[in-house]
Amino acid sequence: MKHLYSINNLSKSEAISILDTAKSMAEVGGKAVKKLPTLLGRTVVNLFFEDSTRTRISFEAAAKRLSADVITFSAKGSSVSKGENLKDTAQTLEAIGADAVVIRHWASGAAETLAQSNWINAKVINAGDGTHEHPTQALLDAFTLRESLAPNQKDLSGLKIGIVGDILHSRVARSNVLLLNLLNAQCVLIAPPTLLPIGIENWNCQYSYDLDSQLAELDAVMMLRVQQERMNAAFFPSTREYSRDFGLNSTRLSQMKPQSLVLHPGPMNRGMEITAEVADSNQSVIRSQVTNGVSVRMSVLYHLLSGDAA
Amino acid sequence: MSLLLSKVNVYGEAAKDILVNGGEIVEIKSPGAISKADKVLDCTNKVLLPGLVDLHTHLRQPGREDAETILSGARAATRGGYTAVHAMANTDPVADSAGVVEQVFGLGEDTQLVSVYPVGAVTVELAGKQLAELKAMADSKAQVRIFSDDGKCVEDSVIMRRALEYVKAFDGVIAQHAQEGRLTLNAQMNESALSSTLGLTGWPNVAEEAIVARDILLCELVNSRLHICHASTRGTVELLKRAKEKKINVTAEVTPHHLLLDEEYVKGYDPVFKVNPPLRHLDDVISLRNALAEGIIDVVATDHAPHPKEDKETEWAAAAFGMLGLENALSVVSTVMVHGQNFSWRDVARVMSEKPAEIGRKPEHGQKISEGARANLCLVDPEVEFIVNAGTSVSLSRNNPYQGMKFKGKPVATIFKGNLTYQEGGN
């Protein structure tokens, strides 16, 4: 693995190896001194063309726990005016001596463009590109699922995971479909037809327009955030109707298997796609996802950077 | 000065000697029958076509002379075998008045390389709200006959109807960029299974077809002339076929890139492949090739769209739409249509010279190669194989999607008003 801009960069054994290393990394988080010297003297740049406090602080914590120097470069540009030019930014980071660039961008493909360009030699980690992919989110989701539901397995075979909500615009869903397949889990995408991508019939997963019909089968359900801007763009008639059919409430939770899990990549719209009762229930692992996010990102940084000569 | 084209295969058929003098073809004889000329070109195994005519060229002047000028675009045109190009109206200022079209026309005349025929805007500032002064442009020195808001669609049905009606007075034609705006909001590529996996907003075929269907009906209603720019979908082909069966006066063009490239090139997010309308599914590409062969699509037009490096060396979504076309168009048609399917050099002459000149009402171009005809000519090496090197282009821009591709057949000389405007490997 030279870069991580897509789950397609990973073989099954590499993905499992990242999860295994993340487990060791998680132990660091439980210690009084939460630090390893692994990446001492290395520079990790968080390059954010789009705001995301959660993802940024998660990567920041991960890099710091491995003793890397962390620089945050916030280059917010709108999609219309180009704002900060990606090439210039990349070359600036190269000149500063970045070893890894964690990039978050509003444009699909920006991480791949950066990785495949000759603008920079640093390792590129995709922290979310447009509506394309968010591979570390999928890895932390898989880690969370494996810890809770399949602790004695390497992969996720035997599990069936539902992903509910705005699949059309979700980079989390795209990365999860790829990774769940790689790890032999079954996957079903659940949304109104307007929020399922064209060509979904040929994706390597099932899909359904009816959440209720799926609940009894699922070992875990990932609830996706419904973005504010979708709410007025005719993807569904009203937030109430959406919530009625696709919101996860206590009644729906009770129809799932007793050990089943509820995941959400955050931030949640409580009362919209998920009720407060469900978010705070015993089956919710939403806060564990945040904790695991740090361990998984430590593992990714370790795998990308520790192989190099310092 | 007289010029002898010796042993040239006229339309790829029997070899002849052709003598050019005073801007005309003065003699066509059996090989060896003409001996006296100031300059002789040995054209053995070369194909002679009428000079190519492009209906759809973006020359960027006035306004974006960093991307292309009328002179640099004219040079690129001569390399491609063209003797006439139609310069699209979306310049800055927009070519929506007699003043701007006369300026463009005049700069074209100054090049002495090709005829530059300005396309007039249909609406003021391409804004789609108010008709531009179409008659003034038609009556100007530029003699505009093609009107288009290309780059933007004339979406308002009433404006489109009125435009079609109005140009009947001077035998004009409305060239429509067919794109329904709401269905293509923020669109980045063809809508397909691939756009879904790449996370790029899709441009569905229906957004083109809905406008083509409406405009065909409007054209029939008012009995005018409609031209469809850069047809890109198999559904558009079906609509055109039905319209032609009903004898509705509609013509259509296809670009070289839509004949050759499909959406798979978008994988990897290289913005050189970002174009509007987008590269489509292979089924569309094949349908367009067949439609060109069957005459359902009338012409090949380049949609030559130069962009400077900084507008293409970016994230996909931030990059400009468009690709170069003038220098490689004939090679694409030669490779895909002549060598790739049952398409003759007479067919090439029809779709790249005769029909475009007819649609644009420019009788001095696209003439049959015969004694007394204007000496606007294109000489082709039909069998030469070569690899495209975008770096050698005479365009000011480098957004050439064919970089590194292998083609068979290319222009080797261009003659405009009897003068050699391009000769491969020298003068």
pLDDT of residue A261: 98
Asked if pLDDT for residue A227 goes beyond 90, the answer is no
Domain ranges, ordered by start, for chain B: 49-359
pLDDT in tens, A106-121: 999 999 999 999 899 9
Confidence tier at B35 by pLDDT (50, 70, 90): confident
The residue-averaged pLDDT of B220-228 equals: 98
Is B303 considered catalytic here?
A: yes
Residues B328-363 pLDDT 10s: 999 999 999 999 988 999 999 999 999 999 999 999
Is B318 in Cβ contact with A79 (below 8 Å)?
A: yes
* B310 in reach of chain A (CB within 8 A): yes
Question: Domains of chain A by range and CATH?
Answer: 7-133+292-305 (3.40.50.1370), 135-289 (3.40.50.1370)
CA distance A20 to chain B (A): 28
CA angle B221, B226, B228 (to 5 degrees): 130
A26-79: pLDDT as tens digits: 998 888 888 999 999 999 999 999 988 999 999 999 999 999 999 998 877 544
Residue B126: closest CA among B149, B104, B160, B147: B149
ipTM: 0.91
With CA atoms as reference, report the closest residue to A66 among A309, A307, A291, A302: A302
Instruction: Tell me the per-residue pLDDT of B37-87, one tens digit each, with 9 for 90 and over.
Output: 999 999 999 999 999 999 999 999 999 999 999 999 999 999 999 999 999
Percent of chain B predicted with pLDDT > 70: 100
Confidence (pLDDT) at A83: 57
CB contact under 8 A, B194 and A199: yes
Residue B206 contacts A, CB cutoff 8 Å: no
Confidence label for B295 from pLDDT (cuts 50, 70 and 90): very high
**In whole numbers, what is the pLDDT of chain A averaged over residues?**
93
- pLDDT at res. A82: 52
Spatial distance between the Cα atoms of B218 and B164, rounded to a whole number of angstroms: 8
**Which residues of A lie inside 8 Å of B (Cβ-Cβ)?**
79, 82, 85-87, 105-110, 112-113, 116, 129-133, 168, 171, 174, 197-200, 202-203
Residue pLDDT, tens place only, B151-174:
999 999 999 999 999 999 999 999
Cβ-based contacts of B316 with chain A (< 8 Å):
107-110, 113
pLDDT of residue A80: 44
Q: What does the alpha-carbon distance between residue A79 and residue A260 come to, in Å, rounded to a whole number?
A: 39
**CA B168, B171, B177: angle at the middle one, nearest 5?**
80
- Nearest CB partner across the interface for A199, out of B193, B314, B317: B193
Helices (H) and strands (E) in chain B, counts: 12, 18
Measured between CA atoms, how close is B95 to chain A, in angstroms?
25
How are beta strands B250-254 and B299-300 bridged, if at all? parallel
Q: Which of A89, A104, A100 is nearest to A49 (CA)?
A: A104
Residue B261 to chain A, least CA–CA distance (Å): 20
Where is average pLDDT lowest: A73-87, B219-233, B308-322? A73-87
| Cross-strand partners of B190 | B203
Write down the pLDDT at residue A310: 39
Among B17, B149, B298, B303, which one carries the catalytic annotation?
A: B303
Instruction: Look at A107 and B198 and tell me if their CB atoms are within 8 Å.
Output: no
Structure tokens at B8: 């040239």
**pLDDT of A268 over the 90 cut:** yes
pTM for this one? 0.94
Q: Which CATH architecture has domain B49-359?
A: Alpha-Beta Barrel (3.20)
DSSP classification of residue A221: E
